[in-house]
Structure 1
């Protein structure tokens, strides 16, 4: 296995578990302990992880790993979730999208909706987002008006955050909003890894008539750093692998589930 492939695999393992040791790398990748240690040292030098005795821990307490290092796990589930979410969108709506792989999939679905295309020069959909990669994806669609929040760019998640992002969102209303999270728990609710991202996501919920968390079922029961206020959340859209117990618990907690 080439060095670049090893480094990406190590980051994948770390993104999934939050910590990793040399023995696990040796077992998973079939490399030597010395090579595993050198790889960890290289990633630590690039500030992509923090070395510990015998291994490493993730640096994602306050941010996500760069998307180029994220494996697109649960692709099919995310596509199906995106199709359901995009089908809720009608002409002349204002739709909010947070950053994330599932919300990016929603943006892709919206860009392919031929029924949203009107006569030349007519805008038929407005998308509000703090994710510059989503804005770039939609910018080539002349029938979609894209509003990008201000703010400071988090170069590890491609999201704009901070007071300017919050100020711009507080002055608009949306028909629908969709946001991704790092964890979803029936008791604690929605969780993300960054406190400034959380503040923006809360506004996407509060300023929309209807708001949905879009999350693949692998994140249900997972926890993250910051808990979001979910008072105005409409519901959760997830995939068919959610268990009946998880679905019942989320429904009972006031987060109706769409599968």
Structure 2
């Protein structure tokens, strides 16, 4: 393998994993650590990858939107999705809400369902539920991401492992039938995978513009048995692709009514 091919292989492996160490790349590619370091120097100079302490991470293919920017994207659709999701939750349930603008709409709609126990990783859900009577709300701490107004990392994961849930509602930067849920960082997808394992019923809530997109290179594999909740603009071929993999798809109209 020449240097050019090796560097392309490094890019593909790091994008698949999200983050890799110099030692791991050296072993995988059968070259010395010093050779890998020279390759990484070239790849970081070109902007293909970014260095970390002892290794390298993938650079997002697109800039990640801030929560404020996302809150202005398809607000009517998000309100309708949130209303339908809230209707699935009976009083007395234990609910997990991901961080994000769409899950904030679920939190808003859930204010009318009491009693309820809600755990979230996002400040937006806390803001929506402040002052709600009959709702026990727990915010999981950890490393704060201002761009998403949510918490991630080992502390968040340890807190999450103390709970089980009847329902989990997850957001997404994108969703595909082949790879699952796409996010900007490996930490985010690791947290989503853990969330999906702690709940009996798992819903990924995403408007149709996110289906089939691949803006980043970190993916959460949620396995089978989860439900995709999207809007009526989703194409029939997209829905069939998910359903063929054992994933239930619910499309919601602008009045919050479902079709599946």
TM-score w.r.t. length of structure 1: 0.70
What CA distance in whole angstroms lies between the structure 1 residues aligned with 2:127 and 2:75? 21
Cross-structure match for 2:52: none
Cross-structure match for 1:103: 103
Cross-structure match for 2:245: 253
Alignment of 1:41-120 (within 5 A): 64-70=64-70, 72-111=72-111, 113=112, 116-117=113-114
Tell me how far 1:71 sits from its aligned partner. Answer: 5.6
Tell me how far 1:143 sits from its aligned partner. Answer: 1.1
Is the 8 Å Cα contact of residues 67 and 100 (structure 2) preserved in structure 1?
Answer: no
What CA distance in whole angstroms lies between the structure 1 residues aligned with 2:220 and 2:162? 20
Q: Which of 139, 142, 149 is equivalent to 1:158? A: 149
| RMSD of aligned Cα (Å) | 2.0
Is the 8 Å Cα contact of residues 63 and 194 (structure 1) preserved in structure 2?
Answer: no
Q: 1:63 to 1:137 in 2, by over 3 A?
A: farther
Tell me how far 1:177 sits from its aligned partner. Answer: 0.5
What CA distance in whole angstroms lies between the structure 2 residues aligned with 1:139 and 1:168? 21
Cross-structure match for 1:148: 139
- Secondary structure at the residue paired with 2:124? helix
Tell me how far 1:142 sits from its aligned partner. Answer: 2.8
What CA distance in whole angstroms lies between the structure 2 residues aligned with 1:89 and 1:206? 18
The answer for unaligned runs of 5 or more in structure 1 is: 1-51, 53-58, 118-123
TM-score w.r.t. length of structure 2: 0.69
- Secondary structure at the residue paired with 2:231? coil
Cross-structure match for 2:202: 211
What CA distance in whole angstroms lies between the structure 2 residues aligned with 1:195 and 1:125? 31
Deviations 1:33-60 (A, max 9, x none): xxxxxxxxxxxxxxxxxxx9xxxxxx86
Tell me how far 1:133 sits from its aligned partner. Answer: 2.2
What CA distance in whole angstroms lies between the structure 1 residues aligned with 2:78 and 2:156? 26
